[in-house]
Every structure is written in structure tokens, then in C-alpha cells.
Amino acid sequence: MKKLALGGQAVIEGVMIKSNSYIAIAARKNGKIIAKSEKLGKRPFFFRWAFVRGVVNLADLLALGIKALSWSAEQQSESNEKITKLEIAATLLLSVGFAMLIFVVVPYFAAHLAGLREDARPVLFNLVDGMIKVALFVLYVAAISLMKDVRRLFQYHGAEHKAVYCYENGKKLTVENAKRFSRLHARCGTSFLFIVLIVSILLFSALPSAVAYAYPAFAKMNFLAKRAVLVSLRILMIPVIAAVGYELLKLGAKFERNFFVRILLMPGLFVQRLTTREPSSKQIEVAIRALKEILRLEKASRG
């Protein structure tokens, strides 16, 4: 088969792998590996267009990721209590809301408290805003990595990367082969966050001037009204930034051996040292099980 474009994430005591047509989740329960797979609904052809697919994939990964985490949590629960769709939706909304507050609103107003004004020095303002975002993200990841359960989750994250790298390099999917590969992957969501950060600095730097040009009355607004407009526009522009960032991420992964591309990917790979840990053989075995399930489904669908 032609090589598949695979994504995935760690779940509780397991790994989710996603292709364009299927998702497969494998988790260890009572010493045994259990797996679940699901066919994804057929999407309109334009969902595969450049600068559209990034937004679609981001929304998919958010929704499917929460769903996969919920399923894996159910497997580890002694009561086997099912998590309802309402609880999943509430978790998703709270997660997105928390991320917006911590990584959009807080850095924005922190840059203002530092004495910078977006209208007067937009490039410097957004550089500082971006640096605060990075600092908050690194501190957040470092803090949660102190928790035992999160460290295990990060090990499964590393296992997912090793299994995918093993497949992408055409090696037989065995634990020993996968062990040889890096736990850091150029196409990881952590690297995506840093690309998004760079794109956002460039676009947000032009935002005040663009708003003032399109809406001349903006210049006469008071401080709080201006901030409300600009923060709201930042949130509305997230899909655009995600779309551009996704295309740059795919381009970077395609040319990851290029010297200049490696320099651009370096910050994301550095932070992946925090969001991944070296997995055990048993954890890699779980990741391989999820990947093999995807390959089995894809092969069966093609006859």
C-alpha cells in the first residue's frame, strides 16, 4: 500500500492512531492489550484542500482525542462507568475555554501590563506576547509532568512517535525495530504549536493597522473597547492561523532533513523532550497494536 499519513496521540495506558479513514485505539488493561477501531465518516472532497484540511484535522483531533481519552479512562475504571456525550462535550468546551484564557487572553494583557502598546509597537508587542505564551506553556507542561500518571501518558506519547517512525521508514513493526527510532517527531502537535506561534506573531502584528484601515472609527475607541475588538479578532483568526501552520508543518516534515528546516523545527523538538518520555517495551507494543489495526482496516477496505 501507499504510505499512509498517520496522526495520533497518547491516551490513558494506551495510544490512538488515526488515518484519513479510520481511528484505532489500543490500551493495556489487566496486563492484556485491548483495541477498539472506528471508521470515520466520509467528508466532502474540499475538506482535503490545502488551508482547509488543517482546520478540519485540528477539529477532528480535538473531538476524537477527547473521545479516545474517555474510552481509555473507562477501561481503567473498576466500575466500567460510561462517559456520556454531554460530559465529553462539556470537557471539550472547558478545555478549549481554558486554553483560550491561559494562552490568548492572559499573555495579551500581560504584555500590556509590561508597558507595551499594541497600537504603537505591534511587532515588539507580539514578540513579547509570544514569549509569554511559550513560557506559560513550558511551565504548564513542566508542572503536570511531575504527576506520575502524566509521566506515563508522556511515555505513551513517545511510544506513538517511535511506532509511526518505524512504519514511515518501512521497517517491520516490532518492538525492537521501533525502539531504535527517536521519540521526537517533526509532525507532532507540539511542533505545530510553535509554528502556529510564529505565524500568529506575523499576522497579529499587522492586525491593529488592518483594523484601523478597514474601520477608521477604531482609532477613536477607548482603551477597553479597542482591546475587546483586538482580542476577539485574535480568537476568530485562530482557524486561519491553524490552517497556515498545518501546511507549514507538513512542508517541514517533508523536508525535515534540510538544515534550515531543522533549525525552524528545533524549538518544537526541544519542547517535545518535555511532552514525551522514553517508553518501555510494553508501551511500544501497545502503540504497534494500534498502528497494525489501522493498517489491517486500510488493507481490507482496499480489497
Confidence of residue 294 (pLDDT cuts 50, 70, 90): very high
**pLDDT (0 to 100) of residue 59:** 81
pLDDT, mean of residues 207-215: 89
pLDDT in tens, 9-43: 999 999 999 998 999 999 999 889 999 999 988 88
Task: Say whether pLDDT at 133 is over 70.
Answer: yes
What predicted TM-score, i.e. pTM, was given to this entire model? 0.86
What is the percent of the chain where pLDDT is above 70? Answer: 98
Report the Cα 130 to chain-centroid distance in Å: 17
pLDDT score of 175: 97
The secondary structure of the chain, three-state, reads CCCCCCEEEEECCEEEEECCCEEEEEEEECCEEEEEEEECCCCCHHHHCCCCHHHHHHHHHHHHHHHHHHHHHHHHCCCCCCCCHHHHHHHHHHHHHHHHHHHHHHHHHHHHHCCCCCCCCHHHHHHHHHHHHHHHHHHHHHHHCCCHHHHHHHHHHHHHHHHHHHHHCCCCCCHHHHHCCCCCCCCCHHHHHHHHHHHHHHHHHHHHHHHHHHCHHHHHCCHHHHHHHHHHHHHHCHHHHHHHHHHHHHHHHHCCCCHHHHHHHHHHHHHHHHHCCCCCHHHHHHHHHHHHHHHHHHHHHCC
What share of the chain has pLDDT > 90, as a percent?
35
pLDDT at 212 over 80: yes
Span 284-297, mean pLDDT? 96
Banded model confidence at residue 246, pLDDT cuts 50, 70, 90: confident
* pLDDT band for position 79 (cuts 50, 70, 90): low
271 vs 79, more confident:
271
